[in-house]
Amino acid sequence: MTASGRPPNQLLQMLDAADLDLLRPHLATVEMVRESVLGEAGAALRYIYFPHAGSVSITVGLAEGQIIEVAMLGRDNVVGGGAALADGIASADPVVLFPGTASMLEIAAFRTVAAVSIPFRSLMIRHEQVLLAHAQQSLLCNTQHPVEAQLACWLLRARDLSDSEILPLTQEALAQMMGVRRNAISLVAHALQRAGIIHYARGQITIIDLPALQTTSCDCYAAVKAHHAAILGIRQ
């Protein structure tokens, strides 16, 4: 809990006291263990998660067997909210990328509060608009920008959610999530390391020069943050 007594998730922090009180009896704090699966595409959701720390990679599987990340969610998001407001069926696989904690509640409780509270339901709908804007920006980034800029953008988002310059990541995992060849990630990572921007060793990436990484990133990183703030009404 934060000093205000609220769970440290941005969406829960934004709720007024009355709406948060509706949710409190149903919230349970749980550990998000690395590589644990919080749902399964095509299956009925059981729980909704409001991350406090750590991050969740939302992935989709392609016919060729390839898995690609479509979004990275953390303490400024909710996992499963959109599906819960719709038919309750997960459209993608949420997998814990970086461990942390989250507020968890059953989908029935989530729907009950959404039905009673217009502000809560509105916030959840606006959050889905945030994810749509993020997905659209990611598509643009993946088709128009070089791998170096994409990797820098991804690392900046990961840093924001993990609150750390040290990211436990393998090049193979990065390539899989970004949907690019592993040798492309390897070449770019080595180039960033030679430039003194990151250090990579033993499945761990350490951000050494944050301003340089921000310069290397394309405009997508800033655009996604701006979309998020504008749609949710957050002052920057």
pTM for the whole thing?
0.91
User: CA 127: distance to chain centroid?
Assistant: 12
In angstroms, the CA 28 to CA 216 distance is 40
Share the mean pLDDT of the chain: 89
**Number of other CB atoms surrounding residue 89 within 10 Å:** 14
Looking at 1.10.760.10, 3.40.718.10, 3.40.50.720, 2.60.120.10, the CATH number of the domain 10-117 comes to 2.60.120.10
* 165-215 pLDDT tens trace: 999 888 888 888 887 888 888 899 999 999 999 998 878 999 999 999 999
In the chain, domain spans: 10-117, 146-217
Query: At residue 76, what is the residue type?
Result: D
**Six-digit token string for 120:** 């809560």
Report whether CATH 1.10.10.10 matches the domain 146-217.
yes
From 28-37, 50-59, 67-76, 150-159, the region with the lowest mean pLDDT: 67-76
10-117 and 146-217: identical CATH topology:
no
Asked whether the predicted pLDDT for residue 65 surpasses 80, the reply is no
From 28-32, 42-46, 173-177, the region with the lowest mean pLDDT: 173-177
